[in-house]
Amino acid sequence: VAWQAVGQQLAAFDVARAYALQRSQFGRPVAASQLVQEQLTRMIGNASASLSLMVQMARLQESGRLRMEHAALAKATCTLRMRETVALGRSILGGNGISTDFEMAKIFADAEAIYSYEGTYEVNALIVGRAVTGISAF
Protein backbone atom coordinates (compact mmCIF):
# COMPACT_ATOMS: atom_id res chain seq x y z
CA VAL A 1 0.00 0.00 0.00
CA ALA A 2 2.92 2.37 0.67
CA TRP A 3 4.09 1.67 -2.89
CA GLN A 4 0.64 2.76 -4.06
CA ALA A 5 1.27 6.08 -2.34
CA VAL A 6 4.49 6.43 -4.35
CA GLY A 7 2.64 5.76 -7.61
CA GLN A 8 -0.10 8.21 -6.74
CA GLN A 9 2.45 10.94 -6.14
CA LEU A 10 4.30 10.30 -9.40
CA ALA A 11 0.99 10.31 -11.29
CA ALA A 12 -0.10 13.54 -9.59
CA PHE A 13 3.21 15.17 -10.50
CA ASP A 14 2.96 14.10 -14.15
CA VAL A 15 -0.62 15.36 -14.47
CA ALA A 16 0.05 18.65 -12.65
CA ARG A 17 3.25 19.38 -14.58
CA ALA A 18 1.62 18.71 -17.96
CA TYR A 19 -1.37 20.88 -17.03
CA ALA A 20 0.78 23.74 -15.74
CA LEU A 21 2.74 23.79 -19.01
CA GLN A 22 -0.33 23.92 -21.27
CA ARG A 23 -2.66 26.13 -19.16
CA SER A 24 -2.19 29.78 -20.01
CA GLN A 25 -3.21 32.64 -17.72
CA PHE A 26 -2.18 36.30 -17.91
CA GLY A 27 -0.50 35.55 -21.24
CA ARG A 28 1.88 32.82 -20.09
CA PRO A 29 1.77 29.21 -18.87
CA VAL A 30 0.96 28.86 -15.18
CA ALA A 31 4.18 26.77 -15.02
CA ALA A 32 6.03 30.09 -15.42
CA SER A 33 4.73 31.21 -12.02
CA GLN A 34 7.26 30.97 -9.18
CA LEU A 35 4.63 29.67 -6.77
CA VAL A 36 3.57 26.90 -9.14
CA GLN A 37 7.21 25.90 -9.62
CA GLU A 38 7.62 25.72 -5.84
CA GLN A 39 4.54 23.48 -5.62
CA LEU A 40 5.87 21.18 -8.34
CA THR A 41 9.18 21.02 -6.48
CA ARG A 42 7.44 20.03 -3.27
CA MET A 43 5.49 17.36 -5.14
CA ILE A 44 8.52 15.74 -6.75
CA GLY A 45 10.46 16.10 -3.48
CA ASN A 46 7.76 14.23 -1.56
CA ALA A 47 7.54 11.56 -4.26
CA SER A 48 11.32 11.11 -4.33
CA ALA A 49 11.55 10.86 -0.54
CA SER A 50 8.75 8.28 -0.48
CA LEU A 51 10.37 6.30 -3.27
CA SER A 52 13.72 6.30 -1.45
CA LEU A 53 12.07 5.07 1.76
CA MET A 54 10.39 2.25 -0.16
CA VAL A 55 13.66 1.19 -1.81
CA GLN A 56 15.10 0.82 1.70
CA MET A 57 12.03 -1.21 2.73
CA ALA A 58 12.58 -3.49 -0.26
CA ARG A 59 16.21 -3.97 0.80
CA LEU A 60 15.10 -4.90 4.33
CA GLN A 61 12.53 -7.32 2.93
CA GLU A 62 15.08 -8.91 0.62
CA SER A 63 17.45 -9.51 3.53
CA GLY A 64 14.63 -10.96 5.67
CA ARG A 65 14.79 -8.12 8.22
CA LEU A 66 11.53 -6.31 7.43
CA ARG A 67 9.34 -6.03 10.54
CA MET A 68 5.73 -4.94 10.91
CA GLU A 69 6.94 -1.66 12.43
CA HIS A 70 8.91 -0.90 9.27
CA ALA A 71 5.84 -1.51 7.12
CA ALA A 72 3.75 0.71 9.42
CA LEU A 73 6.38 3.47 9.21
CA ALA A 74 6.43 3.22 5.42
CA LYS A 75 2.64 3.23 5.10
CA ALA A 76 2.18 6.15 7.50
CA THR A 77 4.98 8.28 6.05
CA CYS A 78 4.32 7.70 2.34
CA THR A 79 0.58 8.25 2.66
CA LEU A 80 1.09 11.44 4.69
CA ARG A 81 3.46 12.80 2.01
CA MET A 82 1.00 11.61 -0.64
CA ARG A 83 -1.83 13.58 0.89
CA GLU A 84 0.18 16.79 0.60
CA THR A 85 1.38 15.93 -2.91
CA VAL A 86 -2.08 15.26 -4.36
CA ALA A 87 -3.50 18.35 -2.64
CA LEU A 88 -0.79 20.46 -4.31
CA GLY A 89 -1.58 18.79 -7.63
CA ARG A 90 -5.26 19.51 -7.23
CA SER A 91 -4.45 23.12 -6.45
CA ILE A 92 -2.29 23.49 -9.58
CA LEU A 93 -5.28 22.47 -11.71
CA GLY A 94 -7.43 25.14 -10.05
CA GLY A 95 -11.14 24.46 -10.47
CA ASN A 96 -10.38 21.69 -12.95
CA GLY A 97 -8.70 19.82 -10.09
CA ILE A 98 -12.10 18.80 -8.78
CA SER A 99 -13.67 18.09 -12.16
CA THR A 100 -14.06 14.47 -13.28
CA ASP A 101 -13.06 15.63 -16.79
CA PHE A 102 -9.47 15.69 -15.50
CA GLU A 103 -7.47 12.80 -14.01
CA MET A 104 -6.37 14.72 -10.92
CA ALA A 105 -9.75 14.43 -9.18
CA LYS A 106 -9.55 10.63 -9.37
CA ILE A 107 -5.97 10.63 -8.09
CA PHE A 108 -7.03 12.92 -5.25
CA ALA A 109 -10.02 10.76 -4.27
CA ASP A 110 -8.06 7.50 -4.51
CA ALA A 111 -5.38 8.98 -2.26
CA GLU A 112 -7.94 9.45 0.50
CA ALA A 113 -8.84 5.75 0.35
CA ILE A 114 -5.14 4.76 0.43
CA TYR A 115 -4.60 7.02 3.45
CA SER A 116 -7.25 5.10 5.42
CA TYR A 117 -7.38 1.51 4.23
CA GLU A 118 -4.99 -1.29 5.24
CA GLY A 119 -4.50 0.49 8.56
CA THR A 120 -5.33 4.16 8.93
CA TYR A 121 -2.53 6.71 9.18
CA GLU A 122 -3.25 7.11 12.91
CA VAL A 123 -3.14 3.42 13.79
CA ASN A 124 0.06 2.86 11.77
CA ALA A 125 1.57 5.83 13.60
CA LEU A 126 0.66 4.18 16.91
CA ILE A 127 2.38 0.94 15.84
CA VAL A 128 5.55 2.94 15.19
CA GLY A 129 5.04 4.89 18.41
CA ARG A 130 4.87 1.66 20.37
CA ALA A 131 8.06 0.41 18.70
CA VAL A 132 10.07 3.55 19.46
CA THR A 133 8.83 4.03 23.03
CA GLY A 134 8.06 0.51 24.21
CA ILE A 135 4.65 1.85 25.35
CA SER A 136 1.41 0.84 23.66
CA ALA A 137 -1.02 3.76 23.34
CA PHE A 138 -3.84 1.52 22.16
Ligand X SMILES: Cc1cc2nc3c(=O)[nH]c(=O)nc-3n(C[C@H](O)[C@H](O)[C@H](O)COP(=O)(O)OP(=O)(O)OC[C@H]3O[C@@H](n4cnc5c(N)ncnc54)[C@H](O)[C@@H]3O)c2cc1C
Question: Would you name the residues annotated as active-site residues?
Answer: 118
User: Interaction with ligand X in 46-85: which residues (CB under 6 A)?
Assistant: none
Residue 90 and residue 96: Cα distance in Å, rounded? 8
Among 32, 120, 129, 130, binds ligand X (CB under 6 A): 120
- The amino acid sitting at 109 is A
CB-nearer residue toward ligand X: 27 or 137:
137
Is 136 a binding residue for ligand X by CB under 6 A? The answer is no
Question: Which long-range contacts (C-beta less than 8 Å, at least 24 apart) are formed by 96-103?
Answer: 96/19, 102/15, 102/19, 103/11, 103/15
Is 123 a binding residue for ligand X by CB under 6 A? The answer is yes
Is 116 a binding residue for ligand X by CB under 6 A? The answer is yes
Residues near ligand X (CB under 6 A) are 113, 116-118, 120, 122-123, 126, 138
